[in-house]
């Protein structure tokens, strides 16, 4: 069995209190069953605090009930009281593993880093194109269920994904043009006609969608308001932003494309990647003269706000399937418009 790894996976280290954001704020912490049982036996004042903080959400999961939008154990030093008192081994699976992501397909496993984490975003988005290569290791076969997918379809998707990777690594053409080529190629693979479409409405529709979503952080609300107010300003794509587009697209295809083995079509993950890039690049260009650090923050917040919220993701996928402004043709046209600015 093969295990695949995104670049830098083994090098990630949490920067704790130095993090400009926190995985302890802005979302609820879901506890695994083993941690729930363990926390019920913790003694002393901390044990009492833990048990008082445990609650059941609408889905029946046990969570740490947020206080003022953050985990009740995230202290004034931006550190975790449970980690500080009981050690890393006492953390629940959610806290111990994040931002590491595991996708187990049965006969192979893929490992990634979520760029909802600022440090993971910095590590991955600053990779030069030639470093956008997966690493793999051979592991002994593990006993378990056989894969529940069509093997021929998976092999086809695997080969297609490698072609998408190659396009994003190819620096002979700008990243936005290469991503447009990825979307056109995906349409060809899925026999979807790519009709002519104007890019006029896509930018407006993208910002309208983002502003309609549930917003988790004040920083993201401020960024949206500032960029929407500068809607007529599109800037030049810097070398750093071009690099970020390639790395983001590479990682998105890595995380999402093979999941199409369980769907009727593989167009949606490429379409979603194109939408995401259009959204972030529009924001970055309209807020021109921002630093690369600020750009990385926008990528990270976009993922935290959209991808970590199941309602926002569901709404986005529905819009991608039904709204003309988010059709493959419209997104290709808008990518070209951004590239020509």
Percent helix, strand, coil in the chain (nearest 5)? 55, 10, 35
pLDDT number for residue 241: 95
Mind giving me the DSSP string for 239-255? HHHHHHHHHHHHHHHHH
Rounded Cα distance, 288 and 42, in Å: 51
Distance CA 324, CA 306 (A): 20
pLDDT at 97: 86
Does residue 39 contact residue 158 with C-beta atoms inside 8 Å? no
**Which residue has better confidence, 101 or 232?**
101
Q: What are phi and psi of 70, to 5 degrees?
A: -140, 165
pLDDT of residue 341 exceeding 60: no
Tell me the mean pLDDT in the region 101-118. Answer: 90
Share of the chain above pLDDT 70, in %: 94
Rounded mean pLDDT, 213-240:
84
Question: 143 with 241: CB under 8 angstroms?
Answer: no
User: What are the tens digits of pLDDT across the range 3-61?
Assistant: 999 999 999 988 877 777 777 766 678 888 888 888 888 888 888 888 888 888 877 88
Does residue 199 have a pLDDT over 70?
A: no
Cβ neighbour number for residue 38 with a 10 Å cutoff? 16
Q: How many CB atoms lie within 10 A of CB 265?
A: 15
Q: How far is C-alpha 27 from the chain's CA centre?
A: 15
- Higher-pLDDT residue of 267, 81: 267
| Integer Cα distance of 130 and 145 in angstroms | 36
Length of the chain: 341
């Amino acid at each position: 069995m093969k295990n695949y790894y995104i670049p830098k996976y083994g090098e990630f280290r949490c920067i704790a209190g130095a993090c400009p954001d926190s995985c302890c704020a802005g979302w609820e912490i879901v506890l695994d069953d083993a941690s729930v049982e363990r926390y019920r036996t913790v003694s002393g004042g901390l044990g009492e605090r833990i048990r008082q903080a445990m609650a059941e959400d609408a889905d029946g999961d046990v969570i740490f009930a947020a206080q003022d939008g953050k985990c009740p154990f995230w202290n004034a030093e931006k550190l975790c009281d449970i980690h500080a008192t009981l050690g890393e081994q006492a953390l629940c699976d959610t806290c111990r593993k994040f931002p590491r992501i595991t996708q187990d397909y049965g006969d192979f496993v893929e490992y990634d880093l979520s760029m909802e984490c600022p440090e993971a975003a910095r590590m991955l988005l600053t990779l030069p194109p030639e470093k956008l290569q997966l690493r793999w290791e051979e592991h002994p076969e593990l006993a378990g269920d056989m894969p529940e997918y069509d093997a021929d379809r998976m092999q086809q998707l695997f080969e297609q994904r490698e072609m998408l990777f190659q396009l994003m690594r190819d620096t002979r053409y700008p990243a936005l043009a290469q991503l447009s080529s990825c979307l056109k190629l995906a349409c060809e693979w899925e026999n979807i006609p790519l009709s002519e479409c104007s890019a006029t409405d896509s930018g407006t529709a993208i910002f309208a969608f983002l502003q309609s979503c549930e917003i988790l952080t004040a920083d993201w609300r401020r960024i949206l308001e500032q960029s929407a107010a500068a809607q007529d300003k599109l800037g030049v794509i810097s070398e750093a932003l071009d690099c970020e587009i390639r790395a983001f697209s590479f990682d998105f295809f890595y995380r999402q494309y093979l999941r199409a083995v369980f769907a009727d079509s593989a167009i949606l993950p490429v379409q979603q990647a194109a939408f995401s890039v259009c959204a972030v690049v529009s924001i970055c260009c309209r807020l021109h003269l921002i630093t690369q650090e600020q750009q990385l923050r926008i990528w990270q917040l976009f993922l935290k706000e959209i991808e970590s919220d199941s309602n926002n993701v569901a709404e986005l996928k529905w819009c991608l399937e039904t709204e003309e402004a988010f059709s493959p043709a419209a997104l290709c046209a808008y990518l070209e418009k951004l590239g020509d600015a």
